[in-house]
Structure 1
Amino acid sequence: MIDERELAINPIVQDSVRHNAQTLSNIRALTASLFGVGAGILGLESYPGFAFYLLGTFVVSSLIYLLRVAPESQSTGSKDGANLYFYRPMMDLWVGDSVGNMMGFVLTWTLFYGLVRA
């Protein structure tokens, strides 16, 4: 956890943290729907479809970390750049809304599966 001295040196701006969390949530919701479209068009059923979603969310989280967080941590010289952008970096960046966005995934998955297979 962040101690008082660290907060005095690098204060956490709640509006920025909230904006970053909202942006990440929007990206996850959009990609969950796109993964549902992909799984439906590919005709995936049951466990392979959910594995497709989990693999896709891991790839998206990795890309966000590699393209956004890692370059900033190298330029600022900090060990963990995710702490600069998120209140709980592990939960927000890697797990986030994965379970909540699964409903949108299943919705678009079944829609496009039905459209392609019917």
Structure 2
Amino acid sequence: MPSELELQISPIVQESLVHNTRTLVNLQSLTASLFGVSAGILGLESYSGFLYYLIFSLITSALFYVVRVAPTSIASEKPPLDTSRYFRGPVEFWTGGLMNGLAGFILTWTLFYGLVSA
């Protein structure tokens, strides 16, 4: 959590937090559908499909962190994996889009599984 002095020097704007969260959720929803397509084409079933989704969603969050968040955190000398300046918290950053993208994943997973196995 930033100190009061840090907030006075560099305030956190709520509109920016909402925009950042919306951008991450949109990315995770889009990739969830793409992961569903690939899981259906690969013929994954049951727990292996859900594990596939979980792993690749976390990889997507990690890539987003490396490309967009980490360079600015390094420049501002923040501790590693600190997302509090750009998101409401680390849990929201790493797992926020999992439930939002799950429906799209299942939809495209079952569609492409049915198309490939038919």
Relative to the length of structure 1, the TM-score reads 0.90
SS in structure 2 of the partner of residue 83 of structure 1: coil
* 2-structure distance, mates of 1:74, 1:4: 21
Give CA-to-partner distance per residue, 1:4-42, whole Å, 9 cap, x none: 333222211111111101100100000000000000000
* 2-structure distance, mates of 1:51, 1:82: 25
Relative to the length of structure 2, the TM-score reads 0.90
Residue 46 (structure 2) aligns with? 46
- Equivalent residue runs for 1:9-24 within 5 Å: 9-24=9-24
Residue 31 (structure 1) aligns with? 31
Residues 25 and 100 of structure 2 are in contact (CA less than 8 Å); yes or no, is this contact kept in structure 1? Answer: no
- Sequence identity percentage: 52
Runs ≥4 residues deviating over 6 A: none
Q: Bigger CA drift: 94-103 or 77-86?
A: 77-86
Residue 64 (structure 2) aligns with? 64
* 1-structure distance, mates of 2:88, 2:6: 14
* 2-structure distance, mates of 1:86, 1:66: 15
Aligned residues: 117
Give CA-to-partner distance per residue, 1:59-87, whole Å, 9 cap, x none: 10111111111111112222255222112
- Gaps (5+ residues) in structure 1? none
- Equivalent residue runs for 1:88-99 within 5 Å: 88=89, 90-99=90-99
- Gaps (5+ residues) in structure 2? none
RMSD: 1.5
